[in-house]
Amino acid sequence: MSFDYAPPPPLEETILFEDEHILAVNKPSGLLSVPGRGDHLSDCAEARAKAHDRNARTVHRLDMDTSGILLFGKGAEAHRRLSLLFAERKVEKRYIAWVAGLMPEDDGDIDLPLAVDWPNRPLQKVDMEKGKPSLTCWRVLERREDATLLALTPKTGRTHQLRLHCAAIGHAILGDRFYSDPTVRKRASRLQLHAETLEFHHPMTEEWISLQAPSNLSGPLLAKNQ
């Protein structure tokens, strides 16, 4: 699946937290987390982090279309310990997303197994037989203009989990070019998904770190039937 790549300009103020072991940035929508194939896909959050500190190493990733907190470890040991926290699910994550339609309930869970949709990579699909267990908890923050603002807490970390889970229950994320129909896609100028909060124990000091990234989600821009 090909796409045109026009990364946003570098912004030094995207740094949210930094010490001798950790660098956290607020990645803008439209920027790759790591380099893609080809020189035209070399500009990414990882490259910008390394330009700031050559020891920065990527700990986790966000979709190109998703904005929010991205974490880097400075040096091999910090990277290893941070990666272990993610692998052991000791990192608390919260996303916010504007989804199509008005959610009838105030909170709930989406428990649907996911697998790679091989003929349509990088897309994923719900696969009740061969999919990996995937769980997302959600809570309503606001309802307006036939759209709902959700707080999303992924309990697993599958590729495109939040995007696909929301679409699977009939409430695709506004602006989603992968899992929404053209009407929903056009209701926002970008994917309305933002990694807002990340909390964990510092891998070296054990201090509780609570990071929050300001959001620039625009919400629903167009009426449903436009």
CB atoms within 10 A of CB 166: 27
Which token pair is 87? 């692998």
Other Cβ atoms closer than 10 A to 9: 6
Active centre residues (catalytic): 63
Q: How many CB atoms lie within 10 A of CB 169?
A: 15
Q: Report the alpha-carbon distance of residue 24 to residue 22 in Å, rounded.
A: 7
CA separation for the pair 83, 72 (Å, rounded) = 10
Q: Which residue has the tokens 């629903």?
A: 220
User: 3-class DSSP state for residue 118?
Assistant: helix
CA-CA distance, 152 to 160, in Å (whole number)?
A: 13
Locus of tokens 């926002």: 188
Q: Of 98, 77, 72, 78, whose CA–CA distance to 18 is shortest? A: 72
